[in-house]
Each structure stands twice: as C-alpha cells, then as structure tokens.
Amino acid sequence: MLSVFTQDRFVRNLAVLIIASGLGAAAGTLIPLLSGRSGYRWILVAFVAFLVPALFLVIRNVSRTLLFAFVFALPFGFAFTPFGDAPYHEGGAQPVVAFVLYDFPLIGLTVSWLLKAYAFRTRIGKSSVVLVAILWIAWSILSLYNSLNRWLSVFEILRMVKLCILMLVVSDLIRERRDVLTVLYALLLGMVAEGAICAVQYATGSSFNLGLFTVGALNRVSGTIGWPNTLGAYAAAITSMALTLFLARLGGKIRAFCLIAGFAGLFTLVVSFSRGAWIAFLTALVVGVLVSYSAKLISFRDLPQLAVILLVAGICIAPLAGPIGQRLAQTSLQQGAIADRFVLNQIAFNMIAAHPVLGVGINTFVDVMTTYDKTGLSYFLPYPVHNVYLLIAAETGLIGLALFAAFVVAVFRAGFRGLRSRDRLVSASAIGITCSLTAILVSNLADVHLRTDVLFALLWFGAGFAVSLGRENLSV
C-alpha cells in the first residue's frame, strides 16, 4: 500500500505511528525507572519527552523532528537500566543494558530511516568514513581474544555499533538545507539550555542530582553531563562552532542564536574549570578562524567582532578571576593529579609493549592495570589512562589506534569537501563541525571523554554530519 502514498502523506502517517508508539513505549519504560530518581530528572526527562510532539506540530516532518530531538537531548547524559544496575566501571560502557535519553529519539530516527529507504527504494549512502568505521569496530572485536572480561568488551563494542548506525542514519537523512538548519538550531539551543542549568548550579552550589559535582573552593559544575571536565569538553566543541558560524555572517535568526549560544558556552567553559577544555576551545577556535579565512568566509574586518565578544565575556566573568587564576596555578608537574597521569601513561605504555597488536581487550584497562603497574598506583587509583589515544592503543593495539586515526582523517576529509559548497550555510557548517571535532580530539589528549555517552555520541554524530555536508548532491 505504500506505493499509493505520496512522500508527504507517507511522512504524515509515519509520524502518527512513530510518535504514538514511541511515547507509549517511553512512558511505559521511564515511569517505573524514574521512581527512585530526583524530581529534577523527572522535569528534564518530561521536557525532552514532550519536546518531540511539540516540535512535530511546528516542523511537520518526522525525520527532522526526531533529528532535532536527538541532537537537543545529546548533553542530557541520563542512563536508564531497565534490568538493574551494574557496578560502576571506569573507562567504558557498563556491563548492563542501558538506555541514554537520546536513545529514544534515535530509535525513532532509525526506524524512520529504514522505512523511508524501503518505501522509496532509496540507496543507503556509502563513504570511506563508514568503511573505516566498520574496520575499526571489527578490529575492536578481535581484541576480545585477549580480553579478561569479555562482557565489558562486548558492551563497549555494542555501543560502538549503535553509534556507527547513528552516523550512517545522520549522514543519509541530512539531504537539504533545512536539515542542516535543524541540526544547527538543536546544537545551539542545547548549549543554551546547558548553560542555563550550569548557571543555576553555580549560583546555588548544588548539582540538583544531575551529575557528579566537585565540591571545593572552585565550586566546579557538571551540568547534566556527569563530570566537570566532560562538560567543559562539550562546551568547547559547541562554543567553537557557534562563534565560527557567527563570524561567517550567516543570514537570518541563526546568527543571533550563534551569539547567544557562544556566550552560554563561554560561561559554561569557565565554570567547568577544566584546563583541558580551555585549551581545546582556543585550539578549535583558531582552526575555525584560519580555515574560514582561507575559504574566504571571513576577512580581517570580521576579527574585531570576535575580539569584542571575548572582551564582553571577559568582563562578565571578571568576578571569577580569582578561581580562574587558582585553577591555572595548579599546573606543577609535581601536583598530584598531573603526576598520577604520568604514571597512568606509563602503565598504558607497558600494556602496548606487551600486546602491540590486539591490545589487552577493549574496555578492560582498569581490570588488568595492576599487572602492568610497577608503582602500586592502580590499587588506590583504579582509573583508565587519561589520554584516549593511549587507551585505544593499550586496549586494541597499535592497529586499533591506526584505524581510529584513519577514521578521524576520513571524517575531516569529508568535512572539508563541504567547503566547496556554493551555499554559505553549508560551507560554514562544514567548518563549524570541523571546529567541534577538533575540540573533542584535543580535549582527549588529557582525558577519556570518548568513553562517555555524551562525547562519544557527539563524535559519531559529528562524523555523520560531516559526511552529509560533503555530499555533492546536498540540496541547497
């Protein structure tokens, strides 16, 4: 019967089916799961749940509605475990069935994509990014051979497969200029919402049970992401994109949203007090400005605008000069946290030397680190090495690291292809997503954000977005 429908009618009927079944399934699943959660989580989850049907009334397109809901929900890193909790595990996925808040619109988005592909006999897009991603996942599966805890490894691999599907869906569904705008608005509004929550957390000194909260002289906040350093990495990724897009002088309301999100992101960056995130943001912003200038999207006349934004932001955060200086002063190599990271690096090098091909098994660094630790640190600090590249090499070998590097290169090449677009929005968005990915990659030089639900999903989503922007037949 699908053949008798036009595409518009098919989309409307599909909307009714997905939204009705999705809301029913979500309500039936979330209500019992949230019985022990804080009231604040209730409010946020309900807000995101009702966002989908409300958006549909405005957007009138299923795929775009679900796409917006997914992107907006990205920073809300709440996990739900319908079959019970598992002991907390550092450095990767938990060995338990868990749903993150963004999984619910992702399920609807995937179903919509599959039904459209079947109904209209559309071809699923292919790219070198997808091929390298599959090879990277396949090699991670091979690391099971050395894994001493295969359940942990399997659950991390399943998360990679899920996010690879996300990348494929996003790269195939974003085909029009309106889709690009949908993604940008969702990313920017998500940053504004996160900034508002962080402002309330900092002002009240409470996390509202939305994440792990660092109490101390710095009063660091974690937003809804779970940890201050990861929050900072997220803010660096979105803020660098927002300011780069603002400088590109895009028309319409999107430029105003970029400015608002930029200020929200700068505030969030500061109150996360993450030095790694500050460095990542500055690096990504410099990359964005240089690439935009080379692509002739900005000129020297636009740079004073950036200077004014940073000056205004600096004036607004001037009351925090003391805590910022205190945080910057904590950079001695003998300082505890930094010294411990050097020891974790050595443990990772010992693992790589012992298993250079397949590694010790994905998601098992913490489980086996005592075997490779000559200092005893692992007995009272059982954390993964705070460098995601060393972690990948230790757990999946040097070939696993090479495949991840090839994946990153393929993603950047896809993004740079978008620079050739005649549409200013598309070319600027290609630079913006390049900024975001740069911030994520730099922040992971001193942390393992790519093993968190929020930043790992943002990386794979960014990869899919970059592929779609680099597609030659993207409708403008």
The 10 Å Cβ neighbour count of residue 43 is: 11
Best CA proximity match to 425, nearest among 257, 238, 297, 288: 297
CA 83/CA 197 separation, integer angstroms? 30
pLDDT digit string (tens) for the chain, length 476 residues: 333 334 455 555 555 455 545 555 555 555 455 445 555 566 566 666 666 666 666 666 778 888 998 999 999 887 777 777 777 778 888 888 888 889 988 988 898 888 877 665 555 556 789 999 999 999 999 999 999 999 999 999 999 999 999 999 999 889 888 999 999 999 999 999 999 999 998 888 887 777 665 545 678 888 989 889 999 999 999 999 999 999 998 878 999 999 999 999 999 999 999 999 999 999 999 999 999 999 999 888 888 999 999 999 989 888 888 888 878 776 654 455 678 888 999 999 999 999 999 999 999 999 999 999 988 888 878 889 999 999 999 999 999 999 999 999 999 999 999 988 889 999 999 999 999 999 999 999 999 999 999 999 999 999 999 999 988 666 55
Predicted model pTM: 0.89
pLDDT at residue 147, rounded to an integer: 94
pLDDT at residue 108, rounded to an integer: 85
pLDDT at residue 2, rounded to an integer: 38
pLDDT at residue 444, rounded to an integer: 96
pLDDT at residue 372, rounded to an integer: 95
pLDDT at residue 438, rounded to an integer: 97
pLDDT at residue 4, rounded to an integer: 34
